[in-house]
């Protein structure tokens, strides 16, 4: 149904297309072990092709003890048996390619698994060449304890003692995820060789896990965006990306708008774009963090998106996303996941997809999947949550409050199985899923959404298709409006005398919106989730959660 993307010589393919993230463990299980697998992904490629997706970001499928569901890699050149084989992956690359879809692999190289051969050798002896692939420090001279009090992102100390070598190693995540020492040139060469090995297999790019952490200066306590980050990214570019028509997306929790350009500026020769998280942190408690629910603040959310749109207006490139496998479901977090769920899911998509950048759809978003409502800790699975629970208890938070926080912001929200049908386990597995299926699957599933002509999938399909054909979506100048309006998210895009006006009511009430000058007047309503609008003039009455986009010639 979708037509060939309009490509111009100046636009790389990843600017006119849309990405789709797959969390393999939760996507589709074909052998009944309760764990999604690569054959399952292959069986669902037509769903993605029908949406018009240009590439898939595949969360890690490499061999791994799965302490952090694959973000702990034991072998970068092999596939986890629960997900399949290298042959399956080659088949996935080929089958996806046949549908015009590239496969973007997850590159997790700030750390590996403690089961990786490198770390096994490194912890045996200081003489092993691999010893220096990791970050070791002697015990603190005063008390023989950890070198300093750096904390792991998953709770507890970031240093673990290894008696065999008499030193501590750094792990910014779980102790089974030792940090790699990027200051060792041999390690860097190994990583580049591995990346090229994957490129030669035909992948379309990499999403680079916590890439802002690789340039760390541990002794000065600088972990994120350390002094060597950009030199290493430039070296990586020279050694792997240069001369290849591939996509490189770096994950950076630390980047702020003024530094975005350093990663993706056209003369930087580093990455295509970064995933930044300011709009996500906007939904966290400033002191207690993600485990404390915080009321939604539209003005803050817009400020974040608008700042990034402006920062990368002339150079660099944005990624656009509201959800991933670490984040809550967007319709629950930013929208209405009750009576107005369908309209709200569409509205969020409209606002996100028509900004400047490359949009990402996270599995299940296209049917408006919602957060879970787990009432006890044993129903959760994520190690981050279990690492932080004792800390929260020590700090005096109640268990009920912590669970409320986990249902609001926890990573398991997006990891419950993809809901395909209203059959047993939502059609995800014939066995017992590794994490419970959300109990709303009889209503919310792919088959049900596809049964209506105006489902959420149809809405995404249209947005994705518009991006392929309308240069104003890829190239248009971004114009922020109504920054302080607590109810409406609106902006314009402008290109060659055309204007695209996007307006969305983020509340459950009818809102009277006084349309500012910068938005236009008459034109074609190219996207809507309530009534189509062909005139946008003066004051507009917006239905609850209504969103639309109008393409026009300015008056």
Interface residue list for ligand TEU (CB under 6 A): 68, 71, 108, 153, 173, 209-210, 253, 290, 325-326, 384, 411
Quote the least distance from Cβ 68 to ligand TEU, whole Å: 5
What percentage of the chain's residues is helix, strand, coil (to nearest 5)? 35, 20, 50
Residue nearer to ligand TEU on the CB measure, 187 or 551: 187
Does position 31 interact with Ca ion (CB under 5 A)? The reply is: yes
**Interface with Ca ion (CB under 5 A), residue from 19, 23, 28, 37:** 37
Partner touching 31 among ligand TEU, Ca ion, none, CB below 5 to 8 Å by kind:
Ca ion
Quote the least distance from Cβ 385 to Ca ion, whole Å: 24
Quote the least distance from Cβ 418 to ligand TEU, whole Å: 17
Give per-residue burial for 290-326: e unless 16+ CB within 10 Å, then b.
Answer: bbbbbeeebeebbbbbbbbbebbeeebbbbbbbbbbb
Give per-residue burial for 463-489: e unless 16+ CB within 10 Å, then b.
Answer: bbbbbbebebbbbbebbbbbeebebbb
- For this structure, is 251 an active site residue? yes
Query: What is the Cα 263 distance to its own chain's centre?
Result: 17
**Interface with Ca ion (CB under 5 A), residue from 22, 28, 35, 503:** 35
Residues 120, 125, 128, 129, CA torsion sign:
positive
How many C-alpha atoms does 262 have within 13 Å on its Cβ side? 18
Instruction: Tell me, residue by residue from 218 to 247, as one string, x for binding to Ca ion by CB under 5 A and - for no binding.
Output: ------------------------------
Question: If binding means CB under 5 A, how many residues of this protein chain bind Ca ion?
Answer: 5
Partner touching 88 among Ca ion, ligand TEU, none, CB below 5 to 8 Å by kind:
none
Partner touching 365 among ligand TEU, Ca ion, none, CB below 5 to 8 Å by kind:
none
Residue nearer to ligand TEU on the CB measure, 405 or 544: 405
**Alpha carbons 5 and 15: distance in angstroms, whole number:** 10
Partner touching 210 among ligand TEU, Ca ion, none, CB below 5 to 8 Å by kind:
ligand TEU
Quote the least distance from Cβ 43 to ligand TEU, whole Å: 25
Does position 88 interact with Ca ion (CB under 5 A)? The reply is: no
Length reported for the chain: 555
Residue nearer to ligand TEU on the CB measure, 384 or 449: 384
Does position 174 interact with Ca ion (CB under 5 A)? The reply is: no
Residue nearer to Ca ion on the CB measure, 35 or 490: 35
Angle ∠(167,171,177) on CA atoms, nearest 5: 110
Edge-to-edge strand ranges of the sheet holding 159-162: 136-137, 167-170, 159-162
**Alpha carbons 366 and 464: distance in angstroms, whole number:** 11
- From 13-21, 23-31, 120-128, 443-451, span contacting Ca ion (CB under 5 A): 23-31
SS3 sequence, 97-124?
HHCCCEEEEEECCCECCCCCHHHHHHHH
Determine which one of 37, 251, 382, 449 is catalytic. Answer: 251
Residue nearer to ligand TEU on the CB measure, 151 or 510: 151
Phi, psi values for residue 511, rounded to 5°: -125, 135
- For this structure, is 439 an active site residue? no
Residue nearer to Ca ion on the CB measure, 435 or 542: 435
Partner touching 337 among Ca ion, ligand TEU, none, CB below 5 to 8 Å by kind:
none
Partner touching 326 among Ca ion, ligand TEU, none, CB below 5 to 8 Å by kind:
ligand TEU
**Interface with Ca ion (CB under 5 A), residue from 33, 124, 162, 239:** 33
Residue nearer to ligand TEU on the CB measure, 108 or 526: 108
Quote the least distance from Cβ 45 to Ca ion, whole Å: 17
Q: Is 60 left (phi over 0), alpha (psi -120 to 50) or beta?
A: beta
Quote the least distance from Cβ 44 to Ca ion, whole Å: 13
β-bridge partners, 477: 494
Quote the least distance from Cβ 83 to Ca ion, whole Å: 8
Kindly give, in sequence order, each residue whose CB lies less than 8 Å from that of residue 475, ignoring residues fewer than 6 positions away.
11, 356, 495
Partner touching 213 among ligand TEU, Ca ion, none, CB below 5 to 8 Å by kind:
none
Residues 85, 245, 275, 318, CA torsion sign:
negative
Quote the least distance from Cβ 224 to ligand TEU, whole Å: 10
Nearest by Cα to 191 from 175, 213, 214, 157: 214
Does position 196 interact with Ca ion (CB under 5 A)? The reply is: no
Quote the least distance from Cβ 455 to ligand TEU, whole Å: 29
Does position 80 interact with Ca ion (CB under 5 A)? The reply is: no
Number of H helices, E strands in the chain: 16, 20
Determine which one of 88, 106, 209, 270 is catalytic. Answer: 209
Residue nearer to ligand TEU on the CB measure, 47 or 290: 290
β-bridge partners, 319: 358
**Interface with Ca ion (CB under 5 A), residue from 22, 29, 435, 466:** 29
Residue 285 is given by DSSP the state B
Nearest by Cα to 45 from 92, 88, 3, 2: 92
**Alpha carbons 333 and 346: distance in angstroms, whole number:** 14
**Alpha carbons 202 and 82: distance in angstroms, whole number:** 23
Partner touching 184 among ligand TEU, Ca ion, none, CB below 5 to 8 Å by kind:
none
Partner touching 29 among ligand TEU, Ca ion, none, CB below 5 to 8 Å by kind:
Ca ion
**Alpha carbons 356 and 236: distance in angstroms, whole number:** 26
Kindly list the residues in this chain that would bind Ca ion in the complex (CB under 5 A).
Answer: 29, 31, 33, 35, 37
- Active-site residue set: 209, 251
């Amino acid at each position: 149904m979708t037509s060939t993307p309009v490509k111009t010589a100046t636009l790389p393919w990843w600017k006119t297309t849309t990405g789709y993230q797959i969390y393999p463990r939760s996507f589709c299980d074909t052998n009944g072990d309760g764990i999604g697998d690569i054959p399952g992904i292959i069986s669902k490629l037509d769903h993605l092709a029908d949406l018009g997706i240009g590439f898939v970001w595949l969360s890690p499928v490499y061999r791994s003890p799965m302490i952090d569901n694959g973000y702990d890699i034991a072998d970068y050149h092999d596939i986890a048996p629960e997900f399949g084989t290298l042959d399956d992956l080659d088949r996935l690359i080929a089958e996806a390619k046949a549908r015009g879809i590239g496969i973007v692999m997850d590159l997790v190289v700030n750390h590996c698994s403690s089961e990786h051969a490198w770390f096994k050798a490194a912890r045996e002896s200081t003489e092993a060449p691999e010893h220096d692939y990791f970050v070791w420090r002697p015990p603190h001279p005063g008390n023989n304890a950890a070198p300093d009090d750096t904390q792991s992102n998953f709770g507890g100390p970031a240093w673990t003692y290894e008696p065999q070598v008499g030193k501590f190693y750094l792990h910014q995540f779980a102790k089974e995820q030792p940090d790699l020492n990027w200051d060792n040139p041999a390690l860097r060469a190994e990583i580049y060789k591995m990346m090229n090995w994957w490129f030669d297999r035909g992948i379309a790019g990499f999403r680079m896990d916590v890439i802002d952490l690789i340039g760390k200066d541990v002794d000065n306590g600088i972990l994120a965006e350390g002094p060597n980050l950009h030199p290493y990214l430039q070296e990586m570019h020279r050694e792997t990306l240069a001369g290849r028509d591939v996509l490189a997306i770096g994950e950076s929790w630390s980047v702020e708008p003024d530094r975005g350009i350093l990663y993706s500026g056209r003369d930087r020769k580093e990455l295509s774009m970064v995933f930044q998280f300011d709009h996500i942190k906007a939904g966290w408690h400033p002191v207690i963090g993600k485990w404390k629910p915080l009321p939604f603040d539209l003005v803050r959310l817009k400020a974040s998106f608008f700042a990034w749109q402006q920062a990368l207006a002339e150079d660099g490139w944005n990624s656009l996303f509201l959800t991933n496998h670490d984040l809550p479901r967007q319709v629950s977090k930013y929208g209405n996941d009750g009576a107005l769920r369908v309209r709200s899911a569409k509205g969020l998509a409209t606002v996100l997809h028509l900004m400047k950048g490359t949009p990402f759809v996270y599995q299940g978003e296209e049917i408006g999947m919602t957060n879970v409502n787990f009432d006890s800790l044993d129903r959760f699975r994520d190690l981050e949550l279990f690492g932080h629970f004792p800390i929260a208890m020590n700090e005096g938070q109640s268990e009920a409050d912590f669970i409320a926080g986990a249902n609001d912001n926890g990573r398991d929200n997006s990891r419950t199985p993809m809901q395909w049908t209203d059959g047993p386990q939502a059609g995800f597995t014939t066995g017992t899923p590794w994490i419970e299926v959300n109990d709303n699957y009889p209503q919310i599933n792919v088959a049900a959404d596809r049964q209506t002509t105006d489902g959420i999938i149809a809405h995404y399909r249209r947005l994705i298709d518009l991006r392929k054909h309308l240069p104003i979506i890829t190239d248009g100048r971004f114009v922020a409006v109504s920054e302080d309006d607590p109810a409406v998210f609106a902006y314009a895009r402008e290109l060659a005398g055309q204007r695209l006006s996007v307006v969305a009511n983020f509340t459950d009430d009818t809102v009277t919106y006084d349309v500012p000058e910068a938005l236009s007047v008459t034109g074609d309503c190219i996207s809507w989730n309530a009534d189509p609008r062909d005139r946008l003039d003066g004051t507009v009455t917006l239905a609850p959660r209504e969103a639309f986009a109008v393409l026009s010639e300015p008056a």
